[in-house]
Amino acid sequence: MAKDNEKIIQQNMLKPDGLNPKVKYSIAAVLLALLLLGIWWLEQILPPSSIIFTVLKKGAIYSLIAVSLNLLNGFTGLFSLGQAGFMLIGAYTYAVLTIPPESRAAVYMYYDGGIIDFALPVPVAMLLAGCLAGLCGFLIGLPVLRLKSDYLAIATLGFAEIIRAIVQYDKLGPITNASNLLRSFPVFRSTLFPFIVAGLCIAVICLLINSSYGRAFKAIRDDEIAAEAMGINLFAHKEMALVTSAFFAGIGGALLAMFQMMVQARAFTSAMTYEILLIVVIGGIGSITGSIIASFLFIACSEWWLRFLDEVQIINGFQLPFMRSGFRMVVFSIIIMFVVLFYRKGIMGTKEFSIDGIYKFFRRLFTGEGKKPKEQKGGGAA
Amino acid sequence: MDNLSYYIQQLLTGVSVGGQYALIAIGYTMVYGILRLINFAHGDIFMAAGFFMVYASASLPLYISIPLVLLLTVILGVSVERIAYKPLRQAPRMSIMISAIGVSYLLQNFATYYTGGLPRSYPTIPFISEIITIGTVTTSWITLLTPVLTLALVIGLVALIKYTKMGMAMRAVSKDFETAQLMGIKINNIISITFIIGSFLAGVGSILFFTKYPTVLPTIGAMPGLKAFVAAVFGGIGSIPGAVVGAFVIGICENIIKAMGYTTFSDAFTFVLLILVLIVRPSGLFGEKSTEKV
């Protein structure tokens, strides 16, 4: 009996269920290349004002931000609501440092052109945006990471509000332009730019999650006390998760500023964090691919597919009831409530969308072989 | 002398704002005491009460519309609990909190849709919005009435919790959910009563608040809601006197900051206070210390 089991285990180890890693990575590379090519091709045939590009750009940016929040909420179990604050820092850092000197007089018209008279290259400014957000994450982490779930949520939410107040402070006007908007900084034209930047950032987050640090994060999420007993330094790992998340939220904020072509502190309210949190919930707390899928779905629904709900529709002289401005968001929030209440796992649960998974799915579908591993095991034991 | 009366006026306003926060904060602290849930939707229930009044008073006289508004607010609060929180009672706490955020999102979007997103002006309630002058200080009745009414309601509530059977049941539930259930306490009823009290007080708070700041907006609930929550944490979450003291401290400090000319920071101050409290004394002024069990 025991020997039988051992044999099965050995067989399973020798013949892994999935694909050869080399094949897997080449398929992934080909798919990514196809995706980028597809976008490039779309840009050639469609006018740049097409709604698809808005959805793709914003979706890519939100993916990055949602994944960064998921790193905290889903993988480390820290219920943080400070994402809007980090995004704001990123967006402002980027905008302040890249506005070309010749346009500064117009942007900072109330503050004599501001006190900064240089402009950094875009990649440097974006990196700095991430670093400054990360630094703020580190500083705020020192006091608040000692708190438990709900207190942490409220403290990080409060942090975001404090940041918003500081940026709008009059005395800081020469740097941040106070409550006036910042504009004229370099922006991207191609949809490929946010895809590549967000893709690279998400890849780094994936590497982190699959490293030994990532396993420590998951251990903290599952049971803090047990994790501590296993020798994981709770504070250091939580701080690390927070700084990483803040860094990428900062880069996401910079991308968002570029997408909007202007940035104003007033927009970065707690409602923005809630939206991102809801995206993470819809995608599945603890699933990176889930967050990405949910971001694109969320943006597509709110910017495109549900737009028709906002317009008064008349069919055969009969005006459809309820349809007027704002109805889209009501329908949208009802859908979200349904997901939260009845479909709590979200689209992906904690699973990931992987080439291995698809391969196994098709193999099951076509050959009927290698069904669920559970059944196999039962068969072997009998 | 002019300066002095200015400061007294600001202080009075602060006390009055504190009273309004206190009424909202009680809803937070009671729900947290029993469900261990930050009811993010509470601020939006406060906002909804404002809109109920706008619409009710358009066609009804005040002596009908005020009770009607309170009733509708209570119904809204209890239905939110029944629909959005009750199905998740066995779920992890994060899920309920997310559900609360979802409800808040829904209420705000619905209010934006229903009202067209435009600010509505709140009806004037005669007498309490009249201006009075005491010595050199000019203020309105509402400013004087708010703290008195708040204290009266709070004393009534504390008596209710301390001396009635229902209050005893509430205390039992907040001490230990499961044991209370085993002792034959109907948990769901107690939770509903908590939401009834919380929403009722939020309704009263909204009438007082909007008489003073007579513009109702779909997003107006968020800030007073968060501040009231901070007040509840400051006073020690779960403790009613704590929430009231915290609310008065926040209301007064905020108005002093405004009077000194730092209006931008009046909101941020609340959160700085929150972070300070959480560092120095996480259980708040009157909160019980909880020990972590494995």
State ipTM: 0.83
Domain parsing of chain B, residue ranges: 2-276
Q: What are the average pLDDT values for consecutive 10-residue runs of chain A, which has 382 residues?
A: 54 56 81 86 81 89 94 90 93 91 82 80 92 94 81 86 86 82 85 90 92 92 90 92 95 93 87 90 89 91 79 71 77 87 81 75 68 37 30
Residue A220 confidence (pLDDT)? 92
The 3-state DSSP class for residue A11 equals helix
Region for B92 from its dihedrals, namely left if φ exceeds 0, alpha if ψ lies in -120 to 50, beta otherwise? beta
Residue of A157, A234, A309, A340 to mutate, testing the B interface (most B Cβ within 10 Å of its Cβ): A340
The per-residue pLDDT for range A125-167, each reduced to its tens digit, is 999 999 999 999 999 998 888 877 778 888 898 889 889 888 8
Residue A373 confidence (pLDDT)? 42
- What's the average model confidence in pLDDT over B219-230? 86
Cα angle B279, B283, B285 (rounded to 5 degrees) comes to 95
Residue of B103, B112, B234, B275 to mutate, testing the A interface (most A Cβ within 10 Å of its Cβ): B275
* Model confidence, pTM: 0.85
Residue A10 confidence (pLDDT)? 54
Chain A interface includes B267 (CB < 8 A): yes
B50-54, B62-66, B136-140, B174-178: least confident range: B136-140
Cβ–Cβ of B108/A271 closer than 8 Å? yes
More confident of the two residues B280 and A9: B280
Cβ–Cβ of B274/A155 closer than 8 Å? yes
Residue A3 confidence (pLDDT)? 55
Cβ–Cβ of A161/B271 closer than 8 Å? yes
The 3-state DSSP class for residue A183 equals strand
Chain A residues in contact with B97 by the CB 8 A cut-off are 79, 149-150, 153
**B2-276 fold:** ABC transporter involved in vitamin B12 uptake, BtuC (1.10.3470)
Q: How far apart are alpha carbons A84 and A267 in whole angstroms?
A: 9
Residue B156 confidence (pLDDT)? 92
Chain A residues in contact with B294 by the CB 8 A cut-off are 225
- What's the average model confidence in pLDDT over B114-131? 82
Residue A372 confidence (pLDDT)? 43
- What's the average model confidence in pLDDT over B115-126? 84
Confidence of residue B290 (pLDDT cuts 50, 70, 90): low
Residue A377 confidence (pLDDT)? 34
In the predicted model, is pLDDT for residue B292 greater than 60? no
Residue of B nearest to A326 (CA): B113
C-alpha closest to that of A310 among B109, B39, B265, B98: B109
The per-residue pLDDT for range B22-56, each reduced to its tens digit, is 999 998 888 888 888 888 899 999 999 999 999 99
